[in-house]
Amino acid sequence: MTGLNTIGRSSLRDDADIPASASKASTHTSLVAHRLKPLRGIQPGLVLSWSVMAVVVLWALFPQWFTSYSATVGVARQQLRAPSAEHWLGTDALGRDLLARIIYGAGNSLSGALVAVGVGLVVGTTLGIVAGSARGRIDVAIMRCVDVLLSIPQLLLSLSIVILLGFGIVNAAIAVGITSIASFARLARSEVVRVRASDYVEAAFGSGGTFSRVLLRHILPNSLTSVIAFAALQLGWAILTISTLGFLGYGAPPPTPEWGLLIAEGRNYLARAWWLTTVPGVVVILVVLSANRISQSFGKARA
């Protein structure tokens, strides 16, 4: 029979020398060296990801800084031009500059994703925290509802909500957000339950902490790190899903520049204008990859 305490005993003595020596080395270096460490270990992928996100955010906020063309009004006799010095990424069937449409589209795609993640984060995390800290019947009730939400495939659920709310980019974003409530709730609950079971939370109660104080001082800060990392991951996913709804025609109505819609419109000119579909897709991939990479770095910081 080995009990919990005996297992803990052996693991703590860390007889495997690798982690012990590694961690000891870092504890004995001075605080200054500790701060310098991230600088020394620059990860090119992560830097690139943050730069991509920064550029896209700037596109969304100040599109006029990056292009002089209009996103919605085409230039006569400039239809379906291949990429050139004049139009870096070519033009579409109405003579609109593709780069301009992508830059102006960043605002729609990004704000849509933010709305979606916001809905999922706020509603889902609240539900998860309530379930995890209340336990008992409230917990069971909330988590059963979450199970039901999970049982309907996400795309079908968002389509049902889009039918209810009507087409449009905000509605599509809300629909996407509602479908992610379940996963946010599950994660938040499991994190709260995990942190609640930790010794330091019990110790906080043991030193006279009230429930609300322990919740605010220990449970929430320690649970939310991974929720934030998940939100970053969901940002990428939301951009993908919103562009899918846009492609199917349930998002922004034409002529609004939206990345999914751009690809859908370019479909009719596959043989003549490859750039109309290829380039917006590459932009979506870059942004989603960056969001995922950033989320991953949050997750690592916690561990």
Contact set for other proteins, span 185-224 (CB under 8 A): 198-200, 202-210, 213, 217-218, 221-222
Q: Which residues have CB under 8 Å from 24's CB, separation 6+?
A: none
User: How far apart are CB 20 and other proteins at their closest, in Å?
Assistant: 4
The neighbouring-strand residues paired with 91 are: 97
If you ran DSSP here, which 8-state letter would residue 86 be given? S
The one segment of 56-64, 77-85, 129-137, 260-268 that binds other proteins by CB under 8 A:
260-268
Rounded CA separation 181/176 (Å): 9
Query: Which of 130, 194 has the CB closer to other proteins?
Result: 194
3 state SS of 194: helix
Neighbours of 23 (CB within 10 A): 11
User: How far apart are CB 76 and other proteins at their closest, in Å?
Assistant: 28
The one segment of 56-64, 89-97, 100-108, 145-153 that binds other proteins by CB under 8 A:
145-153
Q: What are phi and psi of 244, to 5 degrees?
A: -65, -45
Residue 18 sits in the site that holds other proteins (CB under 8 A) = yes
Residue 300 sits in the site that holds other proteins (CB under 8 A) = no
Residue 279 and residue 259 in contact, taking contact as beta carbons nearer than 8 Å: no
Site string for other proteins, 228-247 (x = CB under 8 A): --------x---x--xx--x
State which of residues 61, 140, 163, 301 lies at the interface with other proteins (CB under 8 A): 163
As a whole number of Å, the CA-based R_g of the chain is 24
Q: Which of residues 52-81 bind other proteins (CB under 8 A)?
A: none
Residue 111 sits in the site that holds other proteins (CB under 8 A) = no
State which of residues 65, 285, 300, 301 lies at the interface with other proteins (CB under 8 A): 285
If you ran DSSP here, which 8-state letter would residue 49 be given? H
State which of residues 100, 149, 231, 294 lies at the interface with other proteins (CB under 8 A): 149
User: How far apart are CB 58 and other proteins at their closest, in Å?
Assistant: 21
Query: Which of 106, 204 has the CB closer to other proteins?
Result: 204
User: How far apart are CB 22 and other proteins at their closest, in Å?
Assistant: 6
Rounded CA separation 295/117 (Å): 13
Q: What residue type is assigned to position 18 of the chain?
A: I
State which of residues 73, 156, 216, 301 lies at the interface with other proteins (CB under 8 A): 156
State which of residues 20, 33, 54, 61 lies at the interface with other proteins (CB under 8 A): 20
Q: How far is CA 139 from CA 128, 129, 184, 222, in A?
A: 8, 9, 15, 20
State which of residues 121, 261, 284, 294 lies at the interface with other proteins (CB under 8 A): 284
**DSSP character string of 61-83:** H-GGGT-SS-SSSPPTT-TTPPS
User: How far apart are CB 13 and other proteins at their closest, in Å?
Assistant: 5
Site string for other proteins, 21-40 (x = CB under 8 A): xxxxx-x------x-----x
Neighbours of 11 (CB within 10 A): 10
Structure tokens at 204: 């906080």
Residue 243 and residue 116 in contact, taking contact as beta carbons nearer than 8 Å: no
Structure tokens at 161: 């909500």
User: How far apart are CB 114 and other proteins at their closest, in Å?
Assistant: 18
User: How far apart are CB 63 and other proteins at their closest, in Å?
Assistant: 22
